[in-house]
A and B are shown apart, each in its own frame.
Chain A
Amino acid sequence: MYLDFLTTGILAFTWQQGVMWLIGAILIYLAIKKDYEPALLLPIGFGAIIVNIPFSTAITQNIPGYGEIEGIIDVLFRIGISSELFPLLLFIGIGAMIDFGPLLSNPKMIFFGAAAQFGIFGTLLLAVILGFSLRDAASIGIIGAADGPTSIFVANFFESKYLGTITVAAYSYMALVPIIQPFAIRLVTTTEERKIRMPYHAKEVSKTAKILFPIGVTMVAGFLAPTSISLIGMLMFGNLIRESGVLNSLSKTAQNELVNLITILLGITIAAKMQAASFVTTETFIIIGLGLVAFIFDTVFGVFFVKFLNLFTKNKINPMVGAAGISAFPMSARVIHKMALQEDKQNFILMHTVGANVAGQIASVIAGGLIIYLIP
């Protein structure tokens, strides 16, 4: 029959690929209708569809009569993710977006960034207990960094076969911070605790201090956790461009064009790891569940850390600020500030939550470096 070619694709279609189309459609729906991380979820969703079309030349395929053809998404994966290029370039843009002023004017917030990384290690342990290998468990645990590029960087370093699932989980839960964090915070705080007011005295941080900060952070992190240096180095390089004051056009390019371009490529490239055969498995559902646990652990441990500090301090800290120590910037800071306002219309804790939130950025990157170093 001359027209057999028209049915070849349809006949090769599997139900697992149908599930992936559905997942792709859900991600696109969440991006467009719910505005959940649209810059990432939309390309990932569309990528999930195009890699799950039978004989798709977007991914490497053995086409009868043509031999092996390397697909564009696999080419992008090799160049951009296997080499760690995309997540690291993204960090330059993120660094250029962050103002560390609120942290510099209120330095004790840095410890909240540390406490809220517990989700990474708690989830790692849980994943090992559930039977995942150490390297896969570390890759799953890093979802708790609440930081997409760090998750991709670490999972790719460990060559985890779950990279696609981990990325989707990390970005999805980052988008769901306004739902996950208030739920977890309310579980472990009382109304009275959420009403604690924290005065803030606005201070202007010296420009020189802002310039020296990224250089110093890179040196300190480099000495203590050298495996984090490519991550923290790129983040702080972006921040130095911003704070230098002489590279305004580069800073704007890093914040906008660079981030946008890499985000488009990163999103669609992740689809290389979303092929039905490896994605539609029981492990995927377990990993999605563990990702949620990681975010809840981060939030709860951050809150408990502040509660612990409040046992010894005269000026009580609002425990919700501890939950802002995750890396989902600036969403977490805004969500928690909004929660404080819901409890008490005069309770303005935004500058505190922003301080904890940018500390979370630094801490999550250091955590990523440490986990690479510590996992055998």
Chain B
Amino acid sequence: MMNMNHVYIALRVMGAGMTGIFVTLSILYGFIIFLTKIYPMKANKQDVPKER
């Protein structure tokens, strides 16, 4: 039997959960940007043939 109070809580959990994931991952995004600024990436030269 559906419980309207539980439906309301589930909706609240959905809102808070998705917001929480996006906020946490946004901060992680900032952290990655910060990391790659301090330790910059180099162009991958693995496939570039060496000159003889």
Q: Using CB atoms and an 8 Å cutoff, list the residues of chain A in contact with chain B.
A: 103-105, 107-108, 110-111, 113-114, 117-118, 120-122, 124-125, 128-131, 133-134, 137-138, 201-206, 208-209, 212-213, 216-217, 220-221, 224-225, 359, 362-363, 366-367, 370-371, 374-376
Contact = CB atoms under 8 A, between A and B. Distances in A.
Given A129-B2, A359-B25, A370-B20, A110 B32 contact: yes
A216 to B, nearest CB: 5
B31 A374 contact: no
Interface of B: 1-3, 6-7, 9-14, 16-18, 20-29, 31-33, 35-36, 38-44, 46-47
B48 to A, nearest CB: 10
A221 B7 contact: no
Contact of A224 (B12, B23, B40, B44): B23
Contact of A225 (B14, B24, B32, B41): B24
Contacts of B10: 121, 124-125, 128, 134, 137
Nearest to B8: A128
Contacts, number: 134
B44 A128 contact: no
B20 to A, nearest CB: 5
Contact of B28 (A138, A217, A376): A217
B17 A103 contact: no
Q: Which 10 A-B pairs have the closest CB atoms?
A: A206-B39, A202-B44, A121-B14, A203-B41, A107-B32, A209-B39, A128-B10, A125-B10, A209-B35, A374-B13
B44 A203 contact: yes
Contacts of B40: 206
Contact of A114 (B22, B35, B46): B22
B6 A120 contact: no
A220 B28 CA distance: 7
B36 to A, nearest CB: 6
A367 B39 contact: no
A347 B44 CA distance: 20
B29 A110 contact: yes
Contacts of A107: 29, 32-33, 36
Given A118-B18, A121-B13, A370-B17, A110 B28 contact: yes
13 contacts: A103-B32, A105-B41, A108-B29, A125-B11, A203-B43, A204-B43, A217-B28, A220-B24, A221-B28, A225-B20, A371-B17, A374-B13, A375-B13
